[in-house]
Every structure is written in structure tokens, then in C-alpha cells.
């Protein structure tokens, strides 16, 4: 009898299933299901005839994958997660503890105004969850707990009105305005009092050098206002007053920039037609033609500290200590006195129009000490969330803007639902790894919030949104929402998943109509994994049909040899490979998502080509995208993998926090996720990948230990442990395994003929100690670009071999000389002693693509065999070619493997006759080729 399933396994299985739960729950309006409810969810999709194992059921053993993973685990252990939380805390107006957000896409100063910030934090959480599942190390759960605790605090802070962040000030306490909080101080309309003369005085400590951030701005709009900016376009303080917009400003400009992180005192006086700007007690600017005063402006609607009446100006970042307004122009001596003491303690006294000391240590209001009772209020420029479940590292404004947007502009809206997906995925994975109810609450709340927004929108609006390049990108959010629904059972969550239907894409792909040309690749690949989960939950066949057909539009029609796809993030026309070779090929995220799609399709339909592709992309692009080097600050993962001749991989693109580095962190901590699958009824175990690992199959009470150095070894050994159990062992026979695939059990050969591109089944009752040995000899072969058969890539078994050569033009290689009767091209290469999978040819070293080096590489080469050479003999005859690039030698060797020399000569004769008949080869040259074939000596 199989042992009972653990609670943890049930939770994992439920989430992976993304199915309608076995125990239904009606919508209750709660923020999340309880842990007890989640425990009850054990259903898996009936559509899944094959299911995965949880990450903690499969342990990586020493080898290629474990070595790559170790580099990422070290990074995960050491990176300061407070840096990732900085933008979330800032958005909520919370203290950031001096943490500095990472660069690139994740910080406020990142590309496109940091409009994607928060995405990387979600990736990091997923990495930590997977790292814990794969290793069981407490350090990863501790780090998850820190992050989930902080995000819970952030959401709570966003739910309530802003509260003062009290810090040490110039004299006492001060009010901190964290950069990225979008907070400002709102003053009552009567603050200026219509005074004909005035002094405005403030102590500020700026923390950022953005131009045009306001210390104060009092105005109606962009026409009538009075402001003091920390920096103008020249980087110095500027005061201005106008009743006629920017062109009518009467101004005062400072002479030097204010220092960051230090307290500075600024004062402006207007009286008797003269305006003066003081910085730290010194008059730095004077205007004797200052005719405008507050009296000329009248009562103004917007009276702000830290916010501008110009919507595109930044919010002031820094701290305030004392802000006073007097209804007269203070003298120079009085301004000087203000440098050493509070206003209340010098001759000027507190401002008679307004006086704020910022001594408050809680709440969201600031008392006015002027005697006029003009209490000020701390506010956000964007108000606050539309729903209490909102969680993000930026305001909700991007989501709001997207709803009316008809064109993309990523400096304003950059894929907010994509970012939401990464955060949702991260907190959901955190829950599955640690069972922390707070993480489930965060995930459920996020989906409640999204449903509250999207369910109110017309269908036409949703279709327009999701069809927008970049702005409307939503990544794999459908998959994550469906997985959450399998836990919470909330009907709104399944309804939310369906609100992301992009009908034009679904309907065309379901009809097998290829519309991919010109589409943004990674915007669309993860959509289909989500649609498969919707098929599981709804049974609607169009989702499955669309996903299956979409996969076939990419593989092989838009696939490079390494398994990657896309050029500069986009797809080109079907079948165009050579015509798209560039420095921006194969975005790494695309490979990550194609792997997810392939394995999920396999759960529904066990087509071996899905796992053939999985092996190709995993062993080549995904492994090769991770640099073989440790780094505490960056994960060192490529964005693009350029396939141009002599390309050097960039492992630190865009300062290190792109989408691809995020998915790269995830890939490196789940290498074991598809090594083994099981039949849904427990009748079979699928061995998909040949990787050193140990499977614990709890339901069967057995372990399977795989010992191999594959791909440096051309085979593997499986040893069974535990109890006795009957099931079919299904061994993937790779499509490249044309040199044989031999299986023995306990030393005895297994009958049957393994067919490349299929699964070979061994059925028996397995007992502890049973040993299965598999031999799968590699052959060297080429794969030809679909649109240019002379442009080729070199493969040895599953491994793409790249030339390491600094040349920036395609290498010219001939490979038929010395080719074996088996069709193996390996005799043309020379092995490098002591370096497995390394060879030389024509003075160039060829090495596995998976080696994460910074060598200039050639993933493609130009095939060049100008003469017909067979074995060790040169016929002297020019090697002719057909219009599509296929040469005579290509046609001859397409008949390999040959049972012997006679079979090869026969193939040469029939091929020559066909080419002569077609007018592609002269009869005399043809006879010479046949004689050469008869005289040559060949390798086996």
C-alpha cells in the first residue's frame, strides 16, 4: 500500500494542477481562503494524463545542473532582500532603512522611469521558494518570511491614509518624504492670506537631484502660481511667481546646487517691489522689478509642499523641518537668525500666516502654530488604491491609464499586469513553499483587486488593452490566477482568469492560422500556458487547440538551433531563420516560457517532440544563458543571445534586473522540474531527461537514483530503491539518438526496438536494487536553417557545439571528408584532450553552448564543400547545388546510415543518375564521382 500523501505535497499538487477544486467554495468576499481550506484542495486536472513531481521530490546530484544551480543559490543566499523591498516600501511611504534599490528596471531611476519596478522582487521570491524546495535550507525560508512580512506591511500602509515618517531634523524631528512615495503636504487655501508682502522660509534636506521638484508650489494650474523649486533646468534653486504662465514668470535663481543629504535653509522675501532669495542665510539672488505678490494671485486652489502644479514634475524627495510664512518681508538679519534656531526662538517668531514645525511622530496631519489653525494634511498624488488588495511598487495610475490607452508609451505605462503577475507568482510560490498564510492572503487580495477593476470594463476595452504591445503585456498571469483559484475556490478568481482572453490570438491559433509575424514574442508565449490552465478549469477545447497549434508555429518554424526564438523581442515571418540572425536573437525569457508551455502540453498529450524541444532548449540556451561565475550583486544571465558570428554573450544586460535575469534566476533553481513525470493513474514513470538526480516517488514507496555525467557521458544508470512496485518505465528515446538506444535491466538486454523520437517502455515489478542501464551513443550532425540550407549549426547528440573564434564573418566549414558510413560527421573533428565535448576543426575550437563563458562564439557556420570528397578521396569534381542550396553531397549522405561500403556506393550511383537526369551534373563528372566512391576508404 502506498504511503499517504503529505500535506505539503497536496498543496503543491493542487497549485500545479490549476484545477477546479474538489471541494467548492462560494465567494465570501474574504481577502483569502484559510490554510485549512487550502489543505482540502487536492484535485488535479482530469485532462492531465501525466503529472509532474514537486521540486522537493527530485534531488539534483552532482553534475552540470548542480554546478550551475550552486552559483545561483549562493547569489540567493547573499543578496540583501531589503534592496528589492525598497521600492515597495517607498510606494507606501514607509521607511526604507537606507536600502538602495538595484539598478536597471527595478529602481526608480531605471529605464522608462522605473515603470516595471516590482517585477524582479516577484522573480526573487519564486527563486527563493524553489531554492528551498530543492535544498531544504532554512536560510531561504527566512528570507521569504522577511519579504512576505514586508509586503504585508506595505499593503496595510497602502490601505490607509498616508502617515508621517518622522526622522531626525535640523532642530528636533522632521517629516521624511521618501522618494517614490508620491506624497506631499496639502495646505489650506488661505495659507498665503492675500498678503501684499511675504516671506516663505523652509528647512529642507533633499535626497535626489531631479530638476523641478518643488519645495512649495501654490497655484491654480499652470497659469497662476508661486513656487520654489529645489533645482531648475540648470540645477540651482529657483523661485517664480506668475499670473500668465511660464512666459510671465518673475523669478529668482540661485547660484549653486543644494547638497544632497544635508540640511539647507531657503527663504524668499517679497516686498516693496523687490524679491530676494536666500540660501543658508546668504542672499543669492535679488529682483528689484518684482511686481507680483500673493495679493495679485488671489485665493489659490492648490497649496502644496513637495508637489508641482505641473503634473510631469517630480515629487520632492527628502525631509522638511520647519516651514513658515510671514505677511511681511523679513530683513537680512532676521533671515540670518533663522540659521541657528527655530523661528519661535528668534526675533521673527513663528510665521503669522502659517507655521509648521513637523514635530509630529504619527498620523497624517501637521499642526499650524501660527494661530490661524491651518492644519496641513499628508496626501498621495494618486489618492490611494481602488481596492484593499492592491499591492505594487508604484501607484495604481499605470493600471488606470491603460484602460483608456490606445497606443503604447512605456515611459507612461509599461506592462503593469505583467509586473502584477510576477508579484502574484512570487507570493503564491512563497505560500506553496512555506505555507505562510500571509502570502496566500496577499495573492488572493491581489486577484480580488484585479477582478474589481477588470470586471467593470467592457469587453472591447479588454481586447484593446491586451492587444497593445508592451503596455498591455500580462505575462503568465492567467496561469497564476488559475493556480490560486485551485486553492481558494473563489469563483471571482476563475472569472478573473477569463478576463485576460485575447480572442484574436486564441481564435486564429485554434484555427491553426499563423498570425505571429510582427508580434512581440514573450508577450504571447506565456499566455498559452495560462490558456491551457483555463482549458483544465473550463473544458473549452479552443484553449487547448490554440496552445497546441501555437507551439507548432514556433517549433521549428521560428526556432534557432539552441531552442530560442525571437529577434529583438519580436517574431518575423514563418520559416525565416537565417534572415533573422542578429545580436538580439533568442530572448532568454522566450526559452523559459517555451519550456513551461512544452511541459504543460505534455501533461495533456504525451507527444515526444515536446520533451525533445525541452531537452534542446534546456541543455543549450537555458544553461548557456547563465555565466559560469559567482557574483553577489547580479545573477549573471543573458537577455539576448546574439547568434551573429563572433558574438560575445552579455551576462549583465541593462544593469542586471531585466525580465530575463528574473526568469534566469527561476530556471537555475528548478532544473529538476521535468526530469521525471508520472502517469495520472500511477501506472507509469516517465524519464524525460538524463540528468544526475534522485526521485522519491512517495505514492509508490520507491526511489529512483540516476547516476550519469550526461551529456559528457553517452548514457545513464537508474537504480531502484525502497519497496516493490509494478509500473511501466517509459524512457525517452531522443530524436537525435540515431546511433542506437540500448537498455539493459540487471545486466540483461531488454527486447524491443527503441525508435528515435519516442518513448521506450519497460514494464515489470520493480524491486530494490534493480538497475537499468541506458546507452545512447552520440553522433555529430548538422541542422540547416530553414531559409538557407548552407547556414548550419553543429550538434553532438543534444549539444550545440559553437566555434570559439573572434572572426565576425561566418566560418566556412566542410564536414563530409572522412564522414563515417553511419553518417556521423565526427571523424572530421579532432577531440581536445582532457576537455569532454571539445573539438577542433580548421584551427577553431568547438565547445558546448552550455558553457557560460565570454568567448566570442559562432553558433552558425557556412557550409563549404566546393568539391566532391568521399571518405579519404577527392574526386576533383565541383560539388553542385540545387536552387535551395542542397548539394550533391547533401543528397548522397541523406541516405545514411549505410550498412557497408556497397550500400554507400549504391546510394552514390542512384543520386548521381538523378542529378545527371535533372541536368544538375555532367555525365562524365558523375562517372568520376562514382569511381571515387568505389575507391575510397570510409570510417564506420
In SS3 terms, 790-827 reads as EEEEEEECCEEEEEECCCCCCCEECCCCCCECCCCCHH
Could you report the per-residue pLDDT of 883-919, keeping only the tens digit for each?
988 999 999 999 999 999 999 999 999 999 999 999 9
Tell me, yes or no, whether 802 lies in a domain. Answer: no
Domain count, the chain: 2
**CA separation (Å) from 262 to 170, 204, 280, 520?**
9, 8, 11, 46
The pLDDT value recorded for residue 36 is: 37
| Residue ending a domain, choose from 376, 391, 419 | 376
Residue of 311, 446, 434, 429 lying closest to 35 (CA atoms): 434
Categorize the per-residue pLDDT at 110 as very low, low, confident or very high, splitting at 50, 70 and 90: confident
Residue 745 CB contacts under 8 Å (≥ 6 apart), including other chains = 762, 764, 770, 771, 772
Higher pLDDT pick, 481 / 9: 481
Count Cβ atoms within 10 A of the Cβ of residue 261 and give its class: 0-12 exposed, 13-18 middle, 19 or more buried: exposed
| Residue ending a domain, choose from 376, 399, 432 | 376
Residue of 215, 183, 217 lying closest to 202 (CA atoms): 215
Alpha-carbon dihedral of residues 549, 551, 553, 556, nearest 10 degrees?
-140
Which residue reads 489653525 in cell numbers?
A: 373
Q: Give the span between the Cα atoms of 572 and 585, in whole angstroms.
A: 11
Q: Is 577 helix (H, G, I), strand (E, B) or coil?
A: coil
Could you report the per-residue pLDDT of 772-788, keeping only the tens digit for each?
999 999 999 999 999 99
- Maximum C-alpha span of the chain: 114
Residues 886 and 911: beta-carbon distance below 8 Å: no
Residue 357 CB contacts under 8 Å (≥ 6 apart), including other chains = 172, 321, 322, 342, 344, 367, 369
Categorize the per-residue pLDDT at 33 as very low, low, confident or very high, splitting at 50, 70 and 90: very low
Could you report the per-residue pLDDT of 354-382, keeping only the tens digit for each?
999 999 999 999 999 999 999 999 999 99
Categorize the per-residue pLDDT at 45 as very low, low, confident or very high, splitting at 50, 70 and 90: confident
Q: Give the span between the Cα atoms of 833 and 593, in whole angstroms.
A: 37
Q: In terms of residues, how long is the chain?
A: 940
Tally of CB atoms within 10 A around 582? 14
pLDDT reading at 14 higher than 90: no
As a whole-number percent, the residues of the chain with pLDDT over 90 amount to 93
Rg (CA), the chain: 34
Could you report the per-residue pLDDT of 198-256, keeping only the tens digit for each?
999 999 999 999 999 999 999 999 999 999 999 999 999 999 999 999 999 999 999 99
Could you report the per-residue pLDDT of 644-656, keeping only the tens digit for each?
999 999 999 988 8
> For 914-940, b where at least 16 C-beta lie within 10 A, e where not — what string?
ebbeeebbeeebbebbbebbeebebee
Tell me, yes or no, whether 481 lies in a domain. Answer: no
Residues 471 and 409: beta-carbon distance below 8 Å: yes
pTM: 0.94
Q: Are strands 214-219 and 365-366 parallel, antiparallel or unpaired?
A: unpaired
Tell me, yes or no, whether 936 lies in a domain. Answer: yes
Determine the angle formed by the axes of helices 521-538 and 541-554, rounding to 10 degrees: 150
Tell me, yes or no, whether 27 lies in a domain. Answer: no
φ/ψ (deg, to 5) at 726: -100, 125
pLDDT reading at 7 higher than 80: no
Residues 304 and 186: beta-carbon distance below 8 Å: yes
Q: Is omega for the bond preceding 722 within 30 degrees of 0, making it cis? A: no
Give residue 547's Cα distance to chain centre.
21
The pLDDT value recorded for residue 43 is: 55
pLDDT reading at 15 higher than 70: no
pLDDT reading at 30 higher than 50: no
Higher pLDDT pick, 2 / 113: 113
The pLDDT value recorded for residue 46 is: 84
pLDDT reading at 519 higher than 80: yes
pLDDT reading at 753 higher than 90: yes
**CA separation (Å) from 644 to 249, 396, 494, 855?**
55, 41, 44, 13
Q: Which three cell numbers stand for residue 708?
A: 550519469
Tell me, yes or no, whether 639 lies in a domain. Answer: no
pLDDT reading at 91 higher than 50: yes
pLDDT reading at 21 higher than 50: no
Segment 60-83 mean pLDDT: 97
Segment 659-688 mean pLDDT: 98
Which residue reads 496631519 in cell numbers?
A: 365
Q: Give the span between the Cα atoms of 137 and 564, in whole angstroms.
A: 33
The pLDDT value recorded for residue 1 is: 32
Q: Which three cell numbers stand for residue 234?
A: 540648470
Alpha-carbon dihedral of residues 34, 36, 37, 39, nearest 10 degrees?
130
Q: Which residues of 138-224 form beta strands (DSSP E)?
A: 165-168, 173-177, 183-186, 198-206, 214-219
Q: Give the range of the structural domain holding residue 906, as residue numbers without chain letter.
A: 869-940
**CA separation (Å) from 901 to 129, 867, 896, 897, 907?**
57, 20, 11, 11, 10
The pLDDT value recorded for residue 24 is: 31
Q: Give the span between the Cα atoms of 255 and 248, in whole angstroms.
A: 22
**CA separation (Å) from 591 to 532, 566, 926?**
18, 10, 46
Segment 87-96 mean pLDDT: 97
The pLDDT value recorded for residue 17 is: 40
SS (H, E, C) 715-734: EEEEEEEECCEEEEEEEEEC
Tell me, yes or no, whether 261 lies in a domain. Answer: yes
Helix or strand run (H / E) with residue 764? strand 758-766
Looking at 160-214, list the stretches that DSSP marks H as alpha helix, in order from N- to C-terminal side. Answer: none
Q: Is omega for the bond preceding 139 within 30 degrees of 0, making it cis? A: no
The pLDDT value recorded for residue 13 is: 42
Could you report the per-residue pLDDT of 263-293, keeping only the tens digit for each?
999 999 999 999 999 999 999 999 999 999 9
pLDDT reading at 38 higher than 60: no
Q: Is 541 helix (H, G, I), strand (E, B) or coil?
A: helix
pLDDT reading at 721 higher than 90: yes
Could you report the per-residue pLDDT of 453-507, keeping only the tens digit for each?
999 999 999 999 999 999 999 999 999 999 999 999 999 999 999 999 999 999 9
Residue of 429, 426, 345 lying closest to 391 (CA atoms): 426
Q: Is 561 helix (H, G, I), strand (E, B) or coil?
A: coil
Q: Give the span between the Cα atoms of 766 and 723, in whole angstroms.
A: 8
pLDDT reading at 32 higher than 50: no
Could you report the per-residue pLDDT of 830-861, keeping only the tens digit for each?
999 999 999 999 999 999 999 999 999 999 99
pLDDT reading at 614 higher than 50: yes
Q: Give the span between the Cα atoms of 193 and 298, in whole angstroms.
A: 9
One DSSP character per residue, 439-500 reads HHHHHHHHHHHHHHHHTTS-HHHHHHHHTSTTTT--TTHHHHHHHHHHHH--HHHHHHHHTT
Tally of CB atoms within 10 A around 485? 27
Residues 447 and 146: beta-carbon distance below 8 Å: no
| Residue ending a domain, choose from 323, 346, 376 | 376
The pLDDT value recorded for residue 179 is: 95
Tell me, yes or no, whether 370 lies in a domain. Answer: yes
Q: Which three cell numbers stand for residue 94?
A: 514607509
Q: Is 219 helix (H, G, I), strand (E, B) or coil?
A: strand
Q: Give the span between the Cα atoms of 406 and 392, in whole angstroms.
A: 23
Could you report the per-residue pLDDT of 406-440, keeping only the tens digit for each?
999 999 999 999 999 999 999 999 999 999 999 99
Tell me, yes or no, whether 283 lies in a domain. Answer: yes
Residues 656 and 635: beta-carbon distance below 8 Å: yes
Q: Which residues pair with 783 in a beta bridge?
A: 793
Amino acid at each position: 500500500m502506498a504511503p499517504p500523501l503529505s500535506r505539503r505535497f497536496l498543496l503543491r499538487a493542487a497549485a500545479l494542477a490549476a484545477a477546479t477544486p474538489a471541494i467548492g467554495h462560494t465567494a465570501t468576499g474574504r481577502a483569502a481562503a484559510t490554510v485549512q481550506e487550502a489543505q482540502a484542495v487536492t484535485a488535479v486536472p482530469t485532462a492531465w494524463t501525466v503529472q509532474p513531481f514537486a521540486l522537493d521530490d527530485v534531488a539534483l546530484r552532482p553534475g552540470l545542473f548542480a554546478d550551475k544551480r550552486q552559483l545561483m543559490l549562493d547569489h540567493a543566499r547573499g543578496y540583501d532582500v531589503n534592496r528589492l523591498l525598497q521600492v515597495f516600501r517607498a510606494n507606501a511611504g514607509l521607511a526604507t532603512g537606507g536600502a538602495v534599490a538595484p539598478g536597471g528596471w527595478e529602481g526608480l531611476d531605471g529605464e522608462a522611469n522605473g515603470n516595471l519596478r516590482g517585477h524582479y522582487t516577484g522573480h526573487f521570491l519564486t527563486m527563493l521558494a524553489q531554492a528551498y524546495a530543492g535544498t531544504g535550507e532554512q536560510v531561504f525560508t527566512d528570507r521569504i518570511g522577511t519579504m512576505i512580512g514586508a509586503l504585508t506591511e506595505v499593503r496595510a500602509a497602502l490601505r490607509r491614509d498616508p502617515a508621517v515618517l518622522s526622522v531626525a531634523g535640523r532642530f528636533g524631528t522632521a517629516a521624511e518624504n521618501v522618494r517614490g512615495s508620491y506624497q506631499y503636504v496639502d495646505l489650506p487655501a488661505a495659507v498665503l492670506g492675500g498678503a501684499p508682502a511675504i516671506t516663505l522660509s523652509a528647512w529642507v534636506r533633499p535626497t535626489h537631484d531631479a530638476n523641478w521638484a518643488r519645495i512649495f508650489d501654490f497655484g491654480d494650474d499652470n497659469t497662476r502660481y508661486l513656487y520654489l523649486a529645489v533645482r531648475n533646468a540648470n540645477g540651482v534653486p529657483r523661485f517664480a511667481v506668475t499670473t500668465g504662465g511660464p512666459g510671465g514668470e518673475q523669478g529668482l535663481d540661485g547660484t549653486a546646487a543644494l547638497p544632497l543629504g544635508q540640511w539647507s535653509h531657503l527663504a524668499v522675501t517679497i516686498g516693496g517691489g523687490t524679491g530676494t532669495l536666500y540660501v543658508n542665510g546668504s542672499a543669492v539672488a535679488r529682483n528689484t522689478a518684482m511686481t507680483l505678490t500673493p495679493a495679485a494671485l488671489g485665493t489659490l486652489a492648490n497649496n502644496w509642499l513637495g508637489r508641482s502644479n505641473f503634473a510631469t514634475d517630480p515629487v520632492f524627495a527628502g525631509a522638511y523641518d520647519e516651514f513658515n510664512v510671514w505677511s511681511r518681508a523679513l530683513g537680512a538679519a532676521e533671515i540670518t537668525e533663522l540659521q541657528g534656531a527655530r523661528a519661535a526662538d528668534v526675533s521673527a517668531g513663528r510665521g503669522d500666516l502659517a507655521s509648521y514645525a513637523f514635530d509630529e511622530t504619527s498620523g497624517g496631519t501637521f499642526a499650524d502654530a501660527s494661530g490661524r489653525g491651518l492644519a496641513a494634511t499628508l496626501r498621495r498624488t494618486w489618492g490611494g488604491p481602488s481596492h484593499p488588495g492592491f499591492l505594487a511598487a508604484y501607484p495604481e495610475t499605470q493600471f488606470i491609464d491603460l484602460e483608456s490607452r490606445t497606443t503604447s508609451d512605456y515611459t507612461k505605462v509599461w506592462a503593469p499586469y505583467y509586473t502584477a503577475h510576477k508579484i502574484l507568482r512570487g507570493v503564491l510560490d512563497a505560500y506553496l513553499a512555506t505555507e505562510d498564510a500571509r502570502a496566500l492572503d496577499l495573492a488572493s487580495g491581489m486577484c480580488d483587486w484585479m477582478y474589481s477593476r477588470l470586471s467593470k470594463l467592457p469587453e472591447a476595452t479588454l481586447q484593446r488593452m491586451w492587444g497593445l504591445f508592451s503596455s498591455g503585456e500580462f505575462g503568465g498571469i492567467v496561469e497564476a490566477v488559475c493556480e490560486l483559484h485551485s486553492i481558494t475556490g473563489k469563483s471571482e478568481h476563475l472569472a478573473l482568469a477569463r478576463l485576460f482572453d485575447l480572442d484574436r490570438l486564441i481564435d486564429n491559433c485554434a484555427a491553426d492560422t499563423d498570425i505571429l509575424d510582427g508580434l512581440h514574442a514573450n508577450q504571447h508565449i506565456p499566455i498559452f500556458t495560462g490558456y491551457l490552465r483555463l482549458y483544465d478549469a473550463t473544458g473549452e477545447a479552443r484553449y487547448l487547440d490554440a496552445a497546441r497549434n501555437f507551439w507548432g508555429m514556433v517549433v521549428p518554424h521560428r526556432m534557432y538551433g539552441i531552442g530560442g526564438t525571437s529577434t529583438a523581442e519580436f517574431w518575423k515571418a514563418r520559416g525565416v531563420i537565417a534572415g533573422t540572425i542578429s545580436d538580439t536573437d533568442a530572448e532568454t525569457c522566450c526559452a523559459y516560457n517555451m519550456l513551461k508551455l512544452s511541459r504543460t502540453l505534455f501533461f495533456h498529450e504525451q507527444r515526444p517532440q515536446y520533451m525533445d524541444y525541452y531537452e534542446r532548449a534546456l541543455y543549450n540556451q537555458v544553461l548557456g544563458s547563465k555565466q559560469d561565475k559567482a557574483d553577489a550583486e547580479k545573477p549573471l544571465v543573458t537577455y539576448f543571445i546574439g547568434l551573429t558570428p563572433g558574438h560575445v554573450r552579455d551576462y549583465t544586460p541593462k544593469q542586471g534586473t531585466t525580465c530575463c535575469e528574473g526568469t534566469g534566476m527561476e530556471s537555475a533553481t528548478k532544473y529538476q522540474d521535468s526530469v521525471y513525470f508520472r502517469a495520472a493513474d500511477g501506472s507509469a514513470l516517465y524519464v524525460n531527461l538524463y540528468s544526475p538526480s534522485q526521485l522519491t516517488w512517495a505514492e509508490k514507496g520507491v526511489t529512483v537514483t540516476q547516476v550519469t555525467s550526461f551529456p559528457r557521458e553517452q548514457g545513464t544508470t537508474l537504480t531502484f530503491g525502497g519497496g516493490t512496485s509494478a509500473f511501466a518505465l517509459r524512457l525517452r528515446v531522443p530524436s537525435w539518438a540515431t546511433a542506437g538506444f540500448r537498455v539493459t535491466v540487471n545486466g540483461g538486454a531488454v527486447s524491443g526496438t527503441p525508435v528515435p523520437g519516442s518513448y521506450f517502455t519497460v514494464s515489470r515489478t520493480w524491486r530494490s536494487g534493480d538497475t537499468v542501464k541506458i546507452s545512447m551513443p552520440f553522433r555529430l550532425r548538422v541542422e540547416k536553417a530553414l531559409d538557407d540550407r548552407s547556414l548550419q549549426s553543429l550538434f553532438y547528440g543534444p549539444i550545440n557545439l559553437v566555434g570559439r573564434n573572434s572572426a565576425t564573418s561566418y566560418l566556412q566549414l566542410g564536414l563530409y571528408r572522412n564522414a563515417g558510413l553511419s553518417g556521423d560527421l565526427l571523424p572530421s573533428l579532432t577531440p581536445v584532450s582532457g576537455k569532454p565535448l571539445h573539438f577542433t576543426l580548421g584551427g577553431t575550437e568547438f565547445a558546448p553552448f552550455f558553457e557560460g563563458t565570454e568567448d566570442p562564439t559562432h553558433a552558425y557556420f557556412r557550409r563549404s564543400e566546393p568539391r566532391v570528397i568521399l571518405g579519404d578521396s577527392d574526386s576533383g569534381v565541383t560539388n553542385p547545388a540545387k536552387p535551395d542550396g542542397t548539394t550533391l553531397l547533401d543528397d548522397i549522405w541523406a541516405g545514411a546510415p549505410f550498412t557497408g561500403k556497397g550500400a554507400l556506393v549504391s546510394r552514390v550511383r542512384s543520386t548521381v543518375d538523378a542529378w545527371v537526369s535533372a541536368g544538375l551534373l555532367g555525365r562524365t563528372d558523375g562517372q568520376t564521382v562514382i569511381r571515387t566512391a568505389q575507391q575510397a576508404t570510409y570510417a564506420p
